Amino acid sequence: MTIEELKDNIRVIEDFPKPGIHFQDITTVFMKPDCLRELSQRLYELYKDKGITKVVGLESRGFILGGIIAERLGAGFVPARKKGKLPGEKFTETYELEYGTDTMEMHTGSISSEDVVLIHDDLLATGGTMAAASRLVSRFNPKKIYLNAIIELTACPKLEVFPKELELSTIIKIDVD
CATH value at residue 55: 3.40.50.2020
* Count of structural domains, the chain: 1
Would you place residue 141 in the very low, low, confident or very high pLDDT band (cuts 50, 70, 90)? very high
35 lies in some domain: no
168 lies in some domain: yes
Phi, psi torsion values for 83, nearest 5 degrees: -55, 135
101-127: pLDDT as tens digits: 889 999 999 999 999 999 999 999 888
8 lies in some domain: no
Percent pLDDT > 90 in the chain is 80
Indicate the pTM of the whole model.
0.94
Query: What is the average pLDDT score of the chain?
Result: 93
Would you place residue 98 in the very low, low, confident or very high pLDDT band (cuts 50, 70, 90)? low
67 lies in some domain: yes
pLDDT score, position 134: 96
Would you place residue 28 in the very low, low, confident or very high pLDDT band (cuts 50, 70, 90)? very high
d(CA 70, CA 108) in angstroms, rounded, equals 19
C-alpha dist (Å) from residue 103 to 11, 54, 59, 60, 148: 26, 21, 11, 13, 20
- Return the active site residues: 61, 98
28 lies in some domain: no
Domain that holds residue 150: 49-174
142 lies in some domain: yes
What average pLDDT does this structure show over 12-26?
Answer: 90
1 lies in some domain: no
pLDDT of residue 159 exceeding 80, the answer is: no
44 lies in some domain: no
pLDDT score, position 168: 93
| Half-sphere exposure in the Cβ direction for 3 (13 Å, CA) | 9
Length of the chain: 177
